[in-house]
Structure 1
Amino acid sequence: MLARAVTHALVGLEPRRVDVEAHVRDGLPGFAIVGLADRACQEARERVRSGISAAELSFPDGRITVNLAPAELRKEGSGFDLPIALALLAASQQLPRSALERTAAVGELALDGRLRRVGGVLAVAEGARRLGVERLLCPGDCAREAALAGVDAIPIHHLAEAVAFLRGELELEPEPPLVSNGNGAAAAADLAEVRGQERARRALELAAAGAHNVLLGGPPGTGKTMLARRLPGILPPLDSEAALEVTRIHSVAGIVDEEQPLVSRAPFRAPHHSASTAAIVGGGPRLRPGEASLAHRGVLLLDELAEFHRPVLEALRQPLEDGFVSVSRAAGRIVFPARFQLVATMNLCPCGGRGDPAARCSCSAQRLARYRDKLSRALLDRFDLVLAMPRVRGEELAAAPSESSAAVGSRVSAARERLATRPPSRDSEADALLRRAADSLHLSGRGYARVGRVARTIAALAGSDSVHPEHVAEALSYRSPDELANV
């Protein structure tokens, strides 16, 4: 007897339909899974056998063959357990085969028949919706996530529940669509906690308003990391389309919150400087999104920029320009979205004494040269705002709290709306100043364009309809401070 269930495999972020075909025939007992299944998928044989027994159902006798079609598509992970079990039960006439015709399924089986959550359920649900499938059977922990795709997500906690539901013996209501945004609370880190550093605070506001990349340099203890971690708190919430896009990436990575799956705040990622290239830009044996993609529509913080391996930093050049990461392998090419804001911090020398009037740099010329060689000119050219942060004075540390993130965030939202609807244009004097600066400061074509973008953001924050020379002058002041000229 032959039966078929429907599920999806993930290729990057894209769901591909997989037909789970189960055939039970007379012969010596055996259980084979074919169709380019990885080890986790092959091990479904034992989980399915134990899960069916735990649900007080009969495991089919005879020769069992499960085919995951199409055969040339690699199947990875444990999410095929539930559709394999349902197809087997239908093939052994313990389920009506017609019930599986309008149903997709995904989930991992425990040995006692319970269903465990798996990654990528949102993408699988979107694939089911595109196929016109009426409903998706999924683990109860993943039902809210699946409901975001607009399908009837049926929460299943045990294999016996799924069987009873498909037999018509049990009524299960689909998970209602999520109304409120998840992760919608304001960021805990507030700009009011930062004392002094008014110029750096201004740069952070510009970065938030215009989605600019920022490099903060300076001696240790000047507040570089503290300030960088407060950028997400002044960014506006994501719109519904962007929130669903970000949630899809996080779902594939398996880091979606069970209770509030929708990611409506700009994501913030801060990997350690020992991270590999695959960890940052994506890839690896299973081709999963990296930190750059997990920061899509949000902020990627590289603390101690010069401590990262140079190949890791150079790999970021493409996504910084194109907004996506292209991972190519012999079997094909996968594209992960990666349109993020890069915020980096670094000391001005390995010992940290450079740029601090109260300390003396002990680095040799060779050590400084090695430190500088970690950062290519091409990478530094991709930062819109570059500034050195001085040590904060005692009277600034003892001052009252400064402006809060909420107040700054309201200005940022207004500036973003202005840039989206009626962006300011440069007047003739501003154009002339920018042309002269391009020659005198030896700006590259990219640098010229980025100064123009920053000047437009400054004008939008000021509520101006035109970009004036003073806006261009401020944008130029963030391009190459003397303290970072040789870094």
Structure 2
Amino acid sequence: MYCRIISGAVFGMESDTVYVEVNISDGMPVFEMVGCLATEVKEAKERVRTALRNEGIFLPPKRITVNLSPAYRKKEGSAFDLPVAVGIMSALGKLPKERIENTMFIGELSLNGRLNSIKGVLPIVAKAKREGISRCIIPWENVLEGEAVKGVEVIAVSSLSEVVSFLFGKEIRVQERVRKDSWEKTNDMDFSDVRGQEGAKRAAEIAASGFHNMLMIGEPGVGKTMLAKRITTILPPLSAEESLEVSTIYSVAGLLQKKEGIMTERPFINPHHTITEQAFAGGGRIPRPGVVSMAHRGVLFMDELLEFRRSILEILRQPLEEGNIWITRSQGAYLYPAQFIFIAAMNPCPCGYFPDFHKCSCTEYQRKNYLNKLSAPLMDRIDICTEVHRTGIKHLFQEKEQGEGKKGENSKEIRKRVIRTGDIQKERYKNTEIHYNGELQGEDVEKYCSLDKREKKFLKQIMEKWNLSVRAYEKICKVARTIADMEESEKITLEHIGEAAGYRVGKGK
């Protein structure tokens, strides 16, 4: 008695079809599972045996062999419980075989036969669609991410008995869906909350418009963190393609909320400075995305940048340059997407108050030693560097006395400009893989950020005076291109180059 069930698994960020083969034959009564299996997969034997018993199905005193193919890939996780159980029931002749054809089964079984949620449902169902599989049976708690994939029938069930009922053509109980659009996620943060800081706000708008990386330098309490946390409120909404990308990452990590379905808002990730290299980059025994990947298509904010270990800062170099990160483990190499806006904040010295010599207690040696933690290669990958100064007490109280009507621009107004600038870039790059100016590299910089003779001469003078690197030249051109787009100017002018260069020279280059 033989049966083959279609299932699936996630390997890094990629999903693949896994076939669960069940054979029941005469011989010593034994239940074996083979196919390069991790411990949690081997443990499925007892979960499946007990769940079947509680459904009134007892395993016969025969030799039961379960093979998960392809055998060269290591299978991990608990998603194979359901296909193993269905395969055994089918091999015993207790299910109609025509109903399990071209159907994918995934899910973890409890001992009482209930189905628990699993990680990676979204990419697995998407793979099933690409493979031409017509139906997927998944746990009820993963229903919203499963239904995000159009073009494949998704059947969400809460127990093994419901699976059996469905396969026999019976109507299963439809539970109430709680969708994200049934409740509003409010965001009380707004750019107008930031008092003063017009220069830093301008830099933040440029960063959001072109998806540029930004570093803010200033003493404690001037509003660096406050400003960074509000950048997502002016970013354009996720496109359908971007939403699927981000949701896939969170699905693989097991962080998609069952009441939300796919993600519609850009992520904002703010790791603590004590984070480990593995949590930051990703990996582990069962490889999963790290912080840099969780920030994909959103914002990675690192407050008190120089409090992070040097090893953490160096990990940033690859994702900032390439938009992804490779994780190599004994069982293989995994590529995770990591394209985000990098926003960092730091103090100008260990005590935080330089150049106010009335408050600053640091020696010149301490300041140099502190700033040396920020390597030149990492600094070269930051497009915008801006100083954030203390807002004057007089100015602060004037705004408060004038009331809400005199507050600065709100996020809604700024976001309209950012979206308009983004539309200009999308039109320019519509036949390429580039989305925003911040993604330009190498020849693309020369192609899309072309300068006239006068502008080239001006930029050359800046480069020579401040001894800037070739990468810094590209950063200035990209930021200048964004500033020109914000003004709806086809040409990059001297003013655009001057402002862009001002975000580099004299601040670490």
- What TM-score, normalized by structure 2, do the two folds share? 0.89
In the other structure, the counterpart of 1:460 is: 485
In the other structure, the counterpart of 1:375 is: 374
Query: By how many angstroms is 1:380 displaced?
Result: 0.7
Instruction: Provide closer, same or farther for how the CA distance between residues 367 and 189 of structure 1 changes in structure 2, counting only shifts above 3 A.
Output: same
In the other structure, the counterpart of 1:385 is: 384
Describe the superposition over 1:34-68 as per-residue Cα deviations: whole angstroms up to 9, x where unpaired. 11111111111221122212223333432222111
Partners of 1:222 and 1:174 lie apart in 2 by 50
Are residues 1:409 and 2:415 paired? yes
Are residues 1:346 and 2:346 paired? yes
Partners of 1:353 and 1:192 lie apart in 2 by 26
Amino acid at match of 2:310: R
Q: Secondary structure at the match of 2:165?
A: helix
Q: Trace 1:241-252 onto structure 2 (pairs within 5 A).
A: 241-252=241-252
Q: Trace 1:170-189 onto structure 2 (pairs within 5 A).
A: 170=171, 187-189=187-189
Q: Greater shift after overlay, 323-332 or 243-252? A: 323-332
Q: Secondary structure at the match of 2:166?
A: helix
In the other structure, the counterpart of 1:394 is: 393
Partners of 1:192 and 1:56 lie apart in 2 by 63
Q: Greater shift after overlay, 211-220 or 322-331? A: 322-331
Instruction: Provide closer, same or farther for how the CA distance between residues 297 and 419 of structure 1 changes in structure 2, counting only shifts above 3 A.
Output: same
Amino acid at match of 1:167: F
Amino acid at match of 1:234: I
Describe the superposition over 1:122-150 as per-residue Cα deviations: whole angstroms up to 9, x where unpaired. 11101111221111000111112112222
Partners of 1:448 and 1:434 lie apart in 2 by 8
In the other structure, the counterpart of 1:137 is: 137
Partners of 1:364 and 1:183 lie apart in 2 by 54
Instruction: Provide closer, same or farther for how the CA distance between residues 145 and 57 of structure 1 changes in structure 2, counting only shifts above 3 A.
Output: same
Instruction: Provide closer, same or farther for how the CA distance between residues 184 and 149 of structure 1 changes in structure 2, counting only shifts above 3 A.
Output: farther
Unaligned runs of 5+ in 1: none
Amino acid at match of 1:448: Y
Query: By how many angstroms is 1:182 displaced?
Result: 10
In the other structure, the counterpart of 1:98 is: 98
Q: Trace 1:74-223 onto structure 2 (pairs within 5 A).
A: 74-150=74-150, 151-170=152-171, 187-223=187-223
Partners of 2:35 and 2:504 lie apart in 1 by 55
Q: Secondary structure at the match of 2:283?
A: coil
Partners of 1:184 and 1:358 lie apart in 2 by 48
In the other structure, the counterpart of 1:448 is: 473
Q: Secondary structure at the match of 2:112?
A: coil
In the other structure, the counterpart of 1:270 is: 270
Unaligned runs of 5+ in 2: 400-405, 429-447
Percent identity reads: 40
Q: Greater shift after overlay, 385-394 or 18-27? A: 18-27
Partners of 2:239 and 2:67 lie apart in 1 by 41
Query: 1:430, 1:469 within 8 Å by CA — same for their partners in 2?
Result: yes
In the other structure, the counterpart of 1:473 is: 498
- What TM-score, normalized by structure 1, do the two folds share? 0.93
Q: Trace 1:417-428 onto structure 2 (pairs within 5 A).
A: 417-422=423-428, 426-428=451-453
Partners of 1:358 and 1:182 lie apart in 2 by 55
Query: By how many angstroms is 1:233 displaced?
Result: 0.7
Query: By how many angstroms is 1:366 displaced?
Result: 4.7
Partners of 1:183 and 1:18 lie apart in 2 by 37
Q: Trace 1:326-341 onto structure 2 (pairs within 5 A).
A: 326-341=326-341
In the other structure, the counterpart of 2:239 is: 239
Partners of 2:493 and 2:181 lie apart in 1 by 39
Partners of 2:62 and 2:314 lie apart in 1 by 56
Amino acid at match of 1:107: G
Partners of 2:10 and 2:248 lie apart in 1 by 11
Partners of 2:184 and 2:238 lie apart in 1 by 9
Partners of 1:401 and 1:203 lie apart in 2 by 19
Q: Greater shift after overlay, 46-55 or 381-390? A: 46-55
Partners of 2:14 and 2:508 lie apart in 1 by 44
Query: 1:36, 1:74 within 8 Å by CA — same for their partners in 2?
Result: yes
Query: By how many angstroms is 1:336 displaced?
Result: 0.9
Query: 2:484, 2:496 within 8 Å by CA — same for their partners in 1?
Result: yes
Q: Secondary structure at the match of 1:23?
A: strand
Are residues 1:43 and 2:43 paired? yes
Instruction: Provide closer, same or farther for how the CA distance between residues 52 and 393 of structure 1 changes in structure 2, counting only shifts above 3 A.
Output: same
Instruction: Provide closer, same or farther for how the CA distance between residues 40 and 367 of structure 1 changes in structure 2, counting only shifts above 3 A.
Output: farther
Query: 2:82, 2:109 within 8 Å by CA — same for their partners in 1?
Result: yes
Query: 2:449, 2:478 within 8 Å by CA — same for their partners in 1?
Result: no
Partners of 1:424 and 1:317 lie apart in 2 by 24
Instruction: Provide closer, same or farther for how the CA distance between residues 335 and 409 of structure 1 changes in structure 2, counting only shifts above 3 A.
Output: same
Amino acid at match of 2:408: S
Instruction: Provide closer, same or farther for how the CA distance between residues 311 and 265 of structure 1 changes in structure 2, counting only shifts above 3 A.
Output: same
Query: 2:162, 2:172 within 8 Å by CA — same for their partners in 1?
Result: no
Partners of 2:265 and 2:335 lie apart in 1 by 23
Query: 1:50, 1:111 within 8 Å by CA — same for their partners in 2?
Result: yes
Amino acid at match of 1:199: G
Query: 1:153, 1:175 within 8 Å by CA — same for their partners in 2?
Result: no
Partners of 2:176 and 2:31 lie apart in 1 by 34
Q: Trace 1:312-323 onto structure 2 (pairs within 5 A).
A: 312-323=312-323
Amino acid at match of 2:154: A
Aligned alpha-carbon RMSD (Å): 2.3
Amino acid at match of 1:229: K
Q: Secondary structure at the match of 2:353?
A: coil
In the other structure, the counterpart of 2:306 is: 306
Query: 2:32, 2:64 within 8 Å by CA — same for their partners in 1?
Result: yes
Partners of 1:480 and 1:357 lie apart in 2 by 23
Query: 1:278, 1:284 within 8 Å by CA — same for their partners in 2?
Result: yes
Partners of 2:373 and 2:96 lie apart in 1 by 63
